[in-house]
Amino acid sequence: MSATPATLRRINRRRIFARLWRNGPSSRAMLARELDISPPTTSKIVDQLIAEGLLQPCEPPARDDACSDGESVQPGRPAGYLSVERDRPRIGAVQLGVRHTRLAFLPLIGPRDEHWPEAFDTPRDMNRWIKQIAMRLKAGAASGPEVIVVSVPGVVDEQRGRVLFSPNLHDSESLNLRDRLTEATGLPTILVQEIRALALGHRLMFPGDDDFLLVDIGEGVGAAMMMDGRLFQGPGSLSGEIGHVPISGNARPCGCGRDGCLETLLGREGLIRSAREAQRGSRRQRAVEDHDIWRALGESIGRGALPAWLDRTLAHAGRVIATALNLTGQDRVIITGALAELGGGLEARLSRHINAMAMLGRFGNVRVSLAVRYRAAGLVAAAIERHWFAQSQTDADSVTASGQGIDHP
């Protein structure tokens, strides 16, 4: 199917914005040359993006050799360089968590850290939650955001804006969060499944990482897969629910309604419970707070003392992750959340278990690394892709073929 001129123009808009978003300031001439777009077309698109407030003029890079387009920059002459608009908080980013909700007002350029200035306990009543979000959005930013983007746990129908099933937050299933937030705030709202948001954020922070399986361990355990720089999405809403694979011999009840799921062992609460059970002979241990149990576990691992129960849990996780790798052919695993917090050699141990059980381990190597979460960056990526650069199916096919998606810069 050949692309129409209008489709090509939309694709080039995305390519120009993505180039500036990924690589920083550039001149029009550099953009035209690097992206193989005619200078007149580049200028027209840039002018439109400036008029829409998505780009802004800026000073050239500090180093003289960065001006590689042949345009010498003289004192007093306009630099002619452009960057993504970075000053105004245009995105209301919300993290809906099982225990806490966090909120930040973010610019288009995206944050480099996980700073969430606003936080409150997540109420069981989602109607109360919506009212709190609306109130804080109204009071939090003088100019106000233009779009709300929400990270949501569970099985999420992102297209329809609904949580279909949430083992650890069932109350979110009772209403259409997207439509209710839009109604309460007057702002367009985007829902993103929380692990998919983390994968988008990691891809933004590390542009060379185009293929990986990201496994996050928090209240639950979930996964998202990046393939050729794009998030994998199956025909349905279910995606990456590896935490609900049953583990033989595990009788712990899970929020999904079944017994024995991996996340009852590997999730943060499951790890704390196992640490308590290992110390059940100590009367003092039963009175210790969860955060003290967690700190003591981290200190023990830091000293090189890996509890036997934890090694068994890592073996279970390795088997489940290896199964996913055997199905998809991925050779890169990124672990975020609880295990990244504990550190202390867990990366090497989990890598050993995964490679022992994955087919690739027989003749190659699965690369495993622990990483911090980049949720806020992922929400910015989703907001730009789905609000400012929403695409038709024709655009999507063309962009996928050229690898120029904005949400996977």
Q: Which residues contact 2 (CB under 8 A, 6 or more apart)?
A: none
Tens of pLDDT, residue by residue over 287-341, are 578 889 999 999 999 998 999 999 999 999 999 999 999 999 999 999 999 999 9
Please say whether the beta carbons of 314 and 353 come within 8 A.
yes
Tens of pLDDT, residue by residue over 363-407, are 999 999 999 999 999 999 999 989 998 754 344 444 444 444 444
Nearest to 360 by CA among 373, 351, 369: 351
Q: Which two tokens stand for residue 174?
A: 């009772």
Q: Which residues contact 80 (CB under 8 A, 6 or more apart)?
A: 27, 28, 57, 60, 71, 73
Q: Which two tokens stand for residue 324?
A: 């996913």
| Element housing 123 (H / E) | none
CATH number belonging to domain 91-200+375-402: 3.30.420.40
Residue 63 has a pLDDT of 57
Q: How confident is the model at residue 138 (pLDDT cuts 50, 70, 90)?
A: confident
Q: Which residues contact 77 (CB under 8 A, 6 or more apart)?
A: none
Which SS3 state, helix, strand or coil, does residue 253 take? Answer: strand
What residue ranges of the chain are covered by domains with CATH 3.30.420.40? 91-200+375-402, 209-370
Separation of alpha carbons 309 and 278, rounded Å: 8
Judged by average pLDDT, the poorest of 132-141, 149-158, 195-204, 213-222 is 132-141
Tens of pLDDT, residue by residue over 152-194, are 999 999 999 999 999 989 999 988 999 999 999 999 999 999 9
Separation of alpha carbons 212 and 299, rounded Å: 30
Q: How confident is the model at residue 70 (pLDDT cuts 50, 70, 90)?
A: very low
Separation of alpha carbons 320 and 30, rounded Å: 47
Q: Which two tokens stand for residue 92?
A: 């209301």
Residue 18 has a pLDDT of 85
Instruction: Kindly give the pairing relationship between strand 91-96 and strand 147-152.
Output: parallel
Nearest to 152 by CA among 342, 379, 327: 379
Please say whether the beta carbons of 56 and 80 come within 8 A.
no
Separation of alpha carbons 353 and 307, rounded Å: 15
What residue ranges of the chain are covered by domains with CATH 1.10.10.10? 5-84
Residue 177 has a pLDDT of 93
Which SS3 state, helix, strand or coil, does residue 152 take? Answer: strand
What number of CA atoms fall less than 13 Å from residue 164's CA on the CB side? 12
Superfamily name with CATH number, domain 209-370: ATPase, nucleotide binding domain (3.30.420.40)
Q: With a threshold of 0.75, does the pTM exceed it?
A: yes
Given a cut of 80, whether residue 15 has pLDDT beyond it is yes
> Other CB atoms closer than 10 Å to residue 190's CB: what's the count?
21
Q: Which residues contact 99 (CB under 8 A, 6 or more apart)?
A: 121, 122, 219
Tens of pLDDT, residue by residue over 271-286, are 999 999 998 755 455 5
Please say whether the beta carbons of 361 and 321 come within 8 A.
no
Burial class, 125, CB count within 10 angstroms (exposed 0-12 / middle 13-18 / buried 19+): exposed
Place of tokens 């199917």: 1
Which SS3 state, helix, strand or coil, does residue 360 take? Answer: helix
Q: Which two tokens stand for residue 12?
A: 């080039």
Q: Which two tokens stand for residue 133?
A: 């979000």
Residues paired with 56 in a beta bridge: 83
| Residues 60-72 as b or e (16 or more Cβ within 10 Å = b) | bbeeeebbebebe
CA–CA distance from 174 to each of 126, 127, 166, 180, 296 (Å)?
8, 10, 10, 11, 39
Nearest to 221 by CA among 201, 245, 197, 251: 245
> Which amino acid is located at 70 in the chain?
G
User: So what CATH class is 5-84?
Assistant: mainly alpha
Q: Please give the mean pLDDT across all residues of the chain.
A: 86
Please say whether the beta carbons of 371 and 334 come within 8 A.
yes
Q: How confident is the model at residue 86 (pLDDT cuts 50, 70, 90)?
A: confident
| Residues 383-393 as b or e (16 or more Cβ within 10 Å = b) | bbbbbbbebee
